[in-house]
Amino acid sequence: MKKQPVIIVTGASRGLGASVAVWLGRIGAAVALVAQTHRALEQTATQVQNQGGTPLVLPADVRHATACATVISKTLENFGCIDALVNNAGVFQPLAAVANADPDLWRYNIEVNLLGPFQMTRAAMGPLRQQGGRIVNVSSGAANHPIAMASAYCAAKAGLNHFTRVLAEEEPSLTVVAVRPGVVDTAMQVYIREQGPGVMPNDQIAYYQNLKTDGLLEPPLVPARVIAWLALHAPRSLSGAFIDYDDARVQRPAEDFFGTDMPKGL
């Protein structure tokens, strides 16, 4: 009998993380759902279950080592092993120039976007080594391309990419990748469109507004399919890489594996 894969997904209460979890549910995976909002996680859990998966709701703040350790212990208690970790939890704010940024908000961004993946990875390392597992870090094009007024987000994602490279060097038994999910139609884009005017340069906010009005934002399910496939099947040859969600090396096999029809209800 084929073993049920066990995957932890952070930031699973909505958007990209919820979509990753639902794709994993489609193939009957056990999915540990991590975010701070219990009610929203329950909604994701229902969607995972409707697809045929086995969800486990684990409210936690990934900034804190004790919370991450609890996620790992409860996942092992319920499912017995951990095959993959998807570090997806993230925030965009503060939206401010470096000279004016609130230090506490800047620190919070780094803690969620960079310290969170470190804490989750460190806590999961033993079980992942036992399985020869996979870690998928959800990054951003902002890791390479500066976005004015988003210094914390850009710095955190750049750090996450290099963290991925170092981890791949240190842990040869694991497959570790970072993914650029593209510009996705999520709450983060809503935040930029609402809070960006008057703060971001005019041409920059016009770009984000036009993405929405011109229908150029990707539905979360599109990059989420690739992220879910990487959690299950990322080839060892990609370990340490920062890869685009629409790279043919990952997009085509993800479509072949999951199919092109989208899960309903998201």
Tell me which residues are annotated as active site: 153
Cα–Cα distance, 203 to 170 (Å, whole number)? 42
Query: Alpha carbon 17 to chain centroid distance?
Result: 6
All residues at 6 or more sequence positions from 141 whose CB lies less than 8 Å from its CB, including other chains: 180, 182, 183
- DSSP-derived secondary structure letter, 138: E
Contact indicator for 104, 54 with CB cutoff of 8 Å: no
Please report, as a single letter, which amino acid is at residue 252.
Answer: R
- DSSP-derived secondary structure letter, 3: P
Cα–Cα distance, 116 to 121 (Å, whole number)? 8
